């Protein structure tokens, strides 16, 4: 299957259709990889114009729901919050490949896919 580039608007429109689904989010950042499984309740965005430094994102995607995160030791732990934040940048790239989204930022790569039972 071919990945196709999306605008943020197309990405949002397609991702909104996954509300109510179980999703798997994989974050690859530096030498670290985190995975979480979430029952996605809804999706929201935030703009933070009062940032203290450049580490705090100006824009963020919020995946709201309940779920678990998987540690490096393969142990499942409940998510510490009912919201998972993905920082967005003006240079972020959004891609879609059938059943999988890829979001690439300067900090890392996020993959969002449906979990089929």
Report residue 65 as tokens: 């729901």
**Domain harbouring 93, CATH code:** 2.70.180
- Whole-angstrom distance, CA of residue 111 vs CA of residue 116: 16
DSSP SS3 for 15: helix
- Total domain count, the chain: 1
Q: Each residue of 4-48: pLDDT tens digit?
A: 899 989 999 999 999 999 999 999 988 888 899 999 999 999 887
Q: How far is CA 55 from the centre of its chain?
A: 17
Give residue 47's domain range: 4-114
Q: Each residue of 46-73: pLDDT tens digit?
A: 887 554 555 555 688 999 999 999 866 6
């Amino acid at each position: 299957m071919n990945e196709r580039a999306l605008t943020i608007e197309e990405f949002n429109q397609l991702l909104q259709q996954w509300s109510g689904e179980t999703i798997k989010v994989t974050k690859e950042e530096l030498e670290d990889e985190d995975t979480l499984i979430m029952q996605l309740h809804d999706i929201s965005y935030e703009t933070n114009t009062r940032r203290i430094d450049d580490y705090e994102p100006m824009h963020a995607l919020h995946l709201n729901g309940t779920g678990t995160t998987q540690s490096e030791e393969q142990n499942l732990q409940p998510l510490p919050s009912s919201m998972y934040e993905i920082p967005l940048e003006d240079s972020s790239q959004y891609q879609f490949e059938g059943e999988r989204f890829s979001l690439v930022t300067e900090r890392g790569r996020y993959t969002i896919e449906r979990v089929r039972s």
